[in-house]
Structure formats: C-alpha cells, structure tokens
Structure 1
Amino acid sequence: MEVFLFPGQGAQFVNMGEDLYNSSDEAKSFFKKANEILGWDISEVMFGGTEEELTQTRVTQPAIFIHSVITAFTRGKDRNPAMMAGHSLGEFSALTVAGALTFEAGLNLVKERALAMQKACDITEGTMAAILGLDDDVIEKICEGIEDVVVPANYNTTGQLVISGSVSGIHEAVEKLKEAGARRALVLKVGGAFHSPLMKPAEEHLAQTISETPFTEPTCAIYQNVTGFPERDPEKIKQNLIAQLTAPVKWTQTMKKMVEDGADKFYEVGGKGGILQGMLKKIDRSIDSESL
C-alpha cells in the first residue's frame, strides 16, 4: 500500500516552489490563491527570499504547507495513497490533500497556528534539544526528574528523541542526558518550546479556530501525531489536532503502525526532501521510500 508523508518545520529551502510555479498552470493558480488567502505575497518570499526570511515562523509554516500540498496535487495526482501522515505541521498538509480540509481552510488554519505559536513563544521563552543514542524510557525518566518544564516532544526515529521546555530546564536536561550516556545532546536553534505545555496559549487560540472550521471525512486514513493511530472521524481529527500543540509527535510509533497495517511504499511529499526518508531508514532499513 502506498503512503504519503508530509514534512514539518525545517523542510524549507531557498527558491522553494519556483519550479512548480514555472512548470504547471495548476500550481500557478494555487500559488496565486495562497497569496490572496494570506493577504501578502508569500510566493515572492518562497522564490526569492533569503534563508533567514524563510525561517520566520509566520513564513515557514504556510510556505511548507503550500509547497507540500501543491506538490501532491500536481506531481502526486497519479498516485493512490491508502494512508497519509504529516510530521507536526505536515498533518495539516495531509488532511488537505486527503480532502478533510479545503486548500483555503487548511492554509488559514496553518496561518493561525503560526501566529498563535509565535505569541506563545513571546509569552514564555523556551527551546528544544535533540537527544541521540539513548533509549526513550531513559530520556523520559530524566525529563520527569527535572523541576522545570521539560518533556519529550518529537519521537523522530529509533535513537533520536527531541525534548522541549524552558531554557533552564533544557540545559539541565542536556547535561544529565550526556552523563547518562547520550551520544549527542544538542540544543536546537528554534524559536520556542514546541509540543510542550508552554504552547498552551497557542492551543487555546487554535482550538477556537479549529472548532469553527468545517472538516469532512478524509479519502484515506490519516495517522495522527498525538496517537500514532489512523483516524477518519472529523470530530476526533479536530480533537487530536488541538492536542497536537502541547503533546509529543509520535512519529516513530506512527511509522511502525503504518508498516504493521500494510504500508510498503512511502512517498515524502514537499519540502526539501529526504528528512522523513532518513528517519524511516533508521526505523526500518527495508522500507521502500522516495521523494515526490
């Protein structure tokens, strides 16, 4: 069974989408529609902006969503995925490509999500760190023992877990995890403590927007970050999307569940490509995957 996987923040790159725009009238119309929805010319930044401009949260999240969805609609139209999943932000791309959200509704939610997350970052300073070479349960136990906010945020792949929380808490965790034998414990250059309780203000803001947005049943199962399990019920999808901002991304668990359910061909859709494939290979080297 074929699977579409959609990347999250970090998959942006300079000149993203320009080749799509120049090679397809359909893509061109989507880019123009995106500019109208956002009320500013994001295609100009995507095609000609600097790396620094592309890493601003208000730009990055809509840009990756737009690139992923347009790639699926143009270069993936001959594929017939039986399952989809998206890493964090990528879940909105998956839901849009699967028809649970219209392009306009999906992009509007992503826009609101980016603004809400930025506001939450402004309220409380936080950060994240990538931990390599330790078992998940060891990392979880050390996080639990720290007084400041520190939680597992992204179960990315076997042997790699990203933690999130307050700046002081993360730095304390990094030192303790190194002492516990982590091969690497690296504080990341991110704008905040994503997928942690520090994103609660963003969750509250987005909850209202999601509740007011019409969702329909997707054309295939969407494996959601919060549970790692497939979902098709619009109301449950909404609840999981709201919870996603403060809950960890169970990506490793999701990939294993998809394989267990019969997935045998994975397509990474959008972004600079290769990020999700790299994670997959560390989970199961035998998995067949490629970029669209």
Structure 2
Amino acid sequence: MKAYVFPGQGAQFSGMGKDLYENSEVAKELFEKANEILGFRITDIMFEGTDEELKQTRVTQPAIFLHSVILAKALGDSFQPDMVAGHSLGEFSSLVANGTLSFEDALRLVYQRAMAMQKACEAEPSTMAAILGLEDEKVEEVCNNVDGIVVPANYNCPGQLVISGAVPAVEKACELATEAGAKRALVLQVGGAFHSPLMEPARAELAAAIEATVFNTPSCPVYQNVVAKAVSNPEEIKKNLVDQLTAPVRWTQTMNQMIADGATEVIEVGPGKVLQGLFKKVDRQFPVSSAQI
C-alpha cells in the first residue's frame, strides 16, 4: 500500500517549485491561479525570495502547501494514494491529495490559518525547542514541572520531541531536559508557539473558515495529527483540523499506525526529505522516496 506524506513548516527553500513551474503546464496554471487567489505573486518569493522573506508565516505556509499539492497534481494518473498524512500544515496538502478539499478552498484555508497564527504569535512572545535524545515520557514530565505554558508540540520520531510555549517556560524546560539527560535542547527559529494553548486566539477564526468550506468524502483515509489514526468522515476531519492548532502533532504515532495498517512504501510529496528521515528513525529498512515528475 502506498502512503503519500506531505511536509510542514521548515521545509521551505529559496527556488522551491521553480522547476515545476518551468517544466509542467499543469503546474504553471495552478501557480498562476494561486497568485490570483492570494492577491500577491507568491511565486516571485518562492522562486527568487530570500530565506528571510520565505520565513514569514504568511508566506511559508502557502508556499509549502503549493509546492506539495502542485507536485501531486503534476504527477497525473500515477498519483494513486492508498493512505495520506501531512505533518502539521502538510495535513491540508494531504486533504487535497485525497479529494477532501479542492485546491482553491484548501489554499484559502491555509492562508487564513497562517494569518491567524501570525496574529496569535504577535500577541505574546513565544517559541519552540527541539529536545533530542530523551524519552517522550521524560519530556512530558519536564513540561509538567515548569511554571508557565510549555507543552509537547511535535512527537517527530523516537528521541525527538519539540516543545512549545511562552519564552521563559520553554527556556526553563530546556534547562531541565538537559539535566534529565537530553543530548540537546535547542530553541528553534520559529515565529511562535505552534501547537500549544497560545494558539487559542487563532482557533475561532480557523473554525469559522473551516465551517464555511465544503469537505468531501475522501478517496482514501487521512491519518490526522491529533488522533494519529485513519479518518474518512468529513465532520471528524474538520474537528481534528481545528484541534490541531492547539494540540500536539503525533507524528511518531502516525508513522507507526500507517505501518501497522499495511503501508509498504512512503512517498514524500513536496520540498525536502524531512519526513523520509523520520520514517527511517522508526524503521531503517522501510522503503521511502521523494515524488518526482
């Protein structure tokens, strides 16, 4: 069974999608449609922009979404997923891939989500940090022992958990994690505390946008971040998408579940190879590859 997976924030790079635009008529058309929908030429930033420009949440999220989804569309009939999943923002890409959302509707939702998250980030100084080489339970314990808001945000793979919250609480958790034996505790260069209670202000905005959007019955199940299992019911998919803003991304659990449910190969669709690397941490022999036209 083929599992297609879609990356999230952090996978962006200058020049992303340019070869697609130049080599595929389908891709070119969709990129131009995206420029129209967003009201600015995101392709100029993707193809020629600096790392700094690409790092703005309002650019990063739609840029990664577009790279992933347009690549999937450009694959044509060879794109036949049996299951899909996306890491955080990548979940929206996966929902276009399995027919739950149209390209246009998903792009609008991604942009609204990005703007709402940006606003929430500006409301309070917040950050995220990667804790490496410590068991998940230990990291959870560390977070529970810190005053202030700090929570597990991304269960990326065994021995790699990203925490998220208010700046002083995250710094304190990094100290405690190091004392508890973490190999590294690294504050990340991100806009704010994604997948934490500090994203609560963005929830109502995203929920309203999702409620106003048509969600179809998918052609194959999506393994959603919040529940780490296969979901096919459009109402459940909506709820999980909203919950994802303030709840952790259970990617370790998602990978294990996909393998348990019969995935025989994983194909990453979009910029970078981060998700392939994470699958290899779960099972070194597991067949992984990048989608290519």
Shorter-chain TM-score: what band?
Answer: over 0.9
Alignment of 1:88-99 (within 5 A): 88-99=88-99
Look up the match of 1:105: 105
Residue in 2 aligned with 1:22? Answer: 22
State the Cα deviation string for residues 131-185 of structure 1 (Å, max 9, x = none).
0111100110110111110100000001000000000000000000000000010
What's the TM-score, normalizing by structure 1? 0.98
Question: Counterpart of 2:81 in structure 1: which amino acid?
Answer: P
Alignment match, 1:32: 32
User: 2:213 maps to what in 1?
Assistant: 213
Kindly provide the CA deviation profile for residues 172-206 of structure 1, in whole angstroms up to 9, marking residues without a partner as x: 00000000000010011111000000000011211
1:252 matched to which residue of 2? Answer: 252
| Alpha-carbon distance in structure 1 between the residues aligned to 2:98 and 2:139 | 35
Matches within 5 A, 1:227-242: 227-242=227-242
- How far apart, CA to CA, are the structure 2 residues paired with 1:97 and 1:263? 17
Q: How does 1:1-292 map to 2 (within 5 A)?
A: 1-75=1-75, 77-271=77-271, 273-292=272-291
Which whole-Å deviations, capped at 9, do the CAs of 1:225-261 have from their partners, x for residues lacking one? 0000110100000000000000000000000000000
What is the SS of the residue equivalent to 1:165? Answer: strand
Q: Distance in 1 between matches of 2:44 and 2:98?
A: 27
Classify the secondary structure of the residue corresponding to 1:64: helix
The C-alpha deviation readout for 1:62-110, integer Å capped at 9, x for no partner, is 0000000001111364032100000000000000111100111000000
8 Å CA contact retained: 2:7, 2:275: yes
Q: Name the CA distance, whole Å, in 2 between partners of 1:224 and 1:32.
A: 29
SS at the partner of 1:156? Answer: strand
The 2-side partners of 1:61 and 1:10 are apart by 9
* CA RMSD of superposed structures (Å): 0.8
Cα distance, 1:10 vs. partner? 0.5
The separation in 2 between residues aligned to 1:120 and 1:62, in whole angstroms, is 18
Asked if structure 1 preserves the Cα contact closer than 8 Å seen for 2:72 and 2:79, the reply is no
Q: CA–CA distance in 1 between the matches of 2:83 and 2:166?
A: 35
Q: Secondary structure at the match of 2:78?
A: coil
Q: Check the 8 A contact 2:2/2:263 in 1, yes or no.
A: yes
d(CA) in 1 for partners of 2:14, 2:114: 20
Cα distance in 2 for residues equivalent to 1:79 and 1:239: 27
8 Å CA contact 2:143–2:150 kept in 1: the answer is yes
Secondary structure of the equivalent of 1:151?
Answer: strand
Q: Distance in 1 between matches of 2:76 and 2:252?
A: 24
Deviation for aligned residue 1:125 = 1.3
Structure 2 gaps, min length 5: none
CA distance in 2, matches of 1:166, 1:281: 32
Query: SS of the counterpart of 2:288?
Result: strand
Q: What CA distance in whole angstroms lies between the structure 1 residues aligned with 2:168 and 2:232? A: 40
Change over 3 Å in CA distance of 1:146–1:6 after alignment to 2: same
How far apart are 1:12 and its partner, in Å?
0.5
Q: Secondary structure at the match of 2:246?
A: coil
Q: TM-score, normalised by structure 2?
A: 0.98
Identity of aligned residues (%): 58
* Amino acid aligned to 1:44: D
- 2:214 aligns to what SS in structure 1? coil
Q: Counterpart of 1:45 in structure 2: which amino acid?
A: I
Matched to 2:242, the amino acid is: I
Answer whether contact 2:8 2:90 (CA < 8 A) is retained.
Answer: yes
Residues of 2 paired with 1:228 and 1:174: CA distance? 26
> Structure 1: how far apart are the matches of 2:208 and 2:218?
21
- Structure 1: runs of 5+ lacking an equivalent: none
How many aligned positions are there? 291
Runs of 4+ in 1 over 4 A off after TM superposition: none
How far did 1:274 drift? 1.2
Q: Structure 1 CA distance, aligned partners of 2:68 and 2:57?
A: 16
CA distance in 1 between counterparts of 2:13 and 2:161 reads 24
Q: Which amino acid aligns with 1:291?
A: S
- 1-structure distance, mates of 2:77, 2:21: 16
**How far did residue 264 of structure 1 move?**
0.9
